[in-house]
Structure 1
């Protein structure tokens, strides 16, 4: 599989993804406020230790506003974040209180000065935002590059089950309301593309201002992503199926689980 890509096209894709999350950034914590990040990271830490994680240096790729980064820091890890959105990264940086660094970069071109790390995480279906398998392979190659020998990459991936009937979501936070209709993100065939459209309504006096964020998503068959990981030098240590919440099963199934959690070793 080739990693070659048109730099101009890749730059446009990066700016589109960054712009979508720049728009969503002010409401992101409202939208994800009910997510059990601490419990989730607890489970992932146990999984990583089981597969040989011994160090404390962690890079969180696609860290967003810091929800998946802060739990590592609070557990004593030397953690660093990267996100493609300047506004998301700024919000994460504001939570840092000097405890960690956050860089603005595309996951396919991580800053050369980063690393080496004992573990790289990429959570919250970050790889599904990449719209072709070459881009996924490039991102995985970058994660491989910044790891120490024997280091772990821990990433999740939306499976076809997650896209078949995505639910509608409405979060009312008083002066800010977030609407996330699921229909646009529906994907019924392997490898299909959907679009997450999120409307944010913010009160301005007696009126409301609407901001719309559009985020294309692609279903990448798990077997193809595992092959891409192997192609850049990873050994697959495990591909776990996730049910809603933090319940993991030993083997991921596209038709049963909403997500796969993959552990890969450099």
Structure 2
């Protein structure tokens, strides 16, 4: 296991100090399932994953956490490849696999550096629960997407969840953050439009990038993905947005996006 006290300048590409502390904090993994037990987004993304991953195959879960999305798919006939930077998260996943004799292989890797996974190795891939937004730097996020496409077989599907940048305008302090972010980020090398820091589960400064739709679409297409479906989520992330044509910029909490590696 790597040392958690690594200095900031030695952190892996795309990994912020907050994320590094997150993956090396045991209670984050140990309490994860209980902490999110009543999060209804899991029902929505689970239904979408089952619909998109419609034939048994090998599913790569990028940033798998405790396997809350992967394990149900494996129970329904898929095989699993659980990929995460956190040894603690992978320990929980492996425990679930051992307890129920599930065909899940665990791989510890930084999502920016998944070179150990072979080209065309998986039938499906997913990166759920805002995991892509935890990667700092647009170039690094594009590397994650590049790897997702690379490890998919031609015709393979990739399902992704992200948060909507403009939804922050609905928070009491959100408009001031948006104004400050848009005004300062273009003139700073260390911040991009959409970068946020906030306290999270005892960690003082967790990083999350929130996306504008055109930004995300451009990133997916830049690595060769074809976008096949976009599901806008309502304010509570409980279900798809009703009347998605009505002020979608302000009403959409985030998106679940399905992309495909084209046949070659």
User: TM over 0.5: same fold?
Assistant: yes
Figure out how many residues of one structure are paired with residues of the other and give that number. Answer: 229
The answer as to 2:248 corresponding to 1:258 is no
**TM-score by structure 1 length?**
0.75
Alignment of 1:25-104 (within 5 A): 25-36=29-40, 39-48=43-52, 53-97=54-98, 98-99=101-102, 100-104=104-108
Shift of 1:41: 4.5
Shift of 1:22: 2.5
Out of 224, 228, 231, the position equivalent to 1:240 is 231
Q: Measured at CA, do residues 225 and 38 of structure 1 come closer, stay the same or move farther in structure 2, by a change above 3 Å? A: closer
Shift of 1:259: 1.1
Q: CA RMSD in A?
A: 2.9
Equivalent-residue separation in structure 2 for 1:260 and 1:151 (angstroms): 20
**Higher strand fraction (1 or 2):** 1
Shift of 1:132: 1.9
**Higher helix fraction (1 or 2):** 2
The runs of 5 or more residues in structure 1 that have no matched partner are: 1-7, 168-182, 201-211
The runs of 5 or more residues in structure 2 that have no matched partner are: 1-8, 183-192
- Check whether the contact 1:242–1:260 (CA below 8 A) recurs between aligned residues: yes
**TM-score by structure 2 length?**
0.75
Shift of 1:131: 2.2
Shift of 1:10: 6.2
- Check whether the contact 2:129–2:161 (CA below 8 A) recurs between aligned residues: yes
Partner of 1:108: 112
Shift of 1:260: 0.7
- Check whether the contact 1:137–1:228 (CA below 8 A) recurs between aligned residues: yes
The superposition leaves residues 169-200 of structure 1 with CA deviations (integer Å, 9 ceiling, x where unpaired) of xxxxxxxxxxxxxx89x953562322231245
Equivalent-residue separation in structure 1 for 2:243 and 2:90 (angstroms): 33
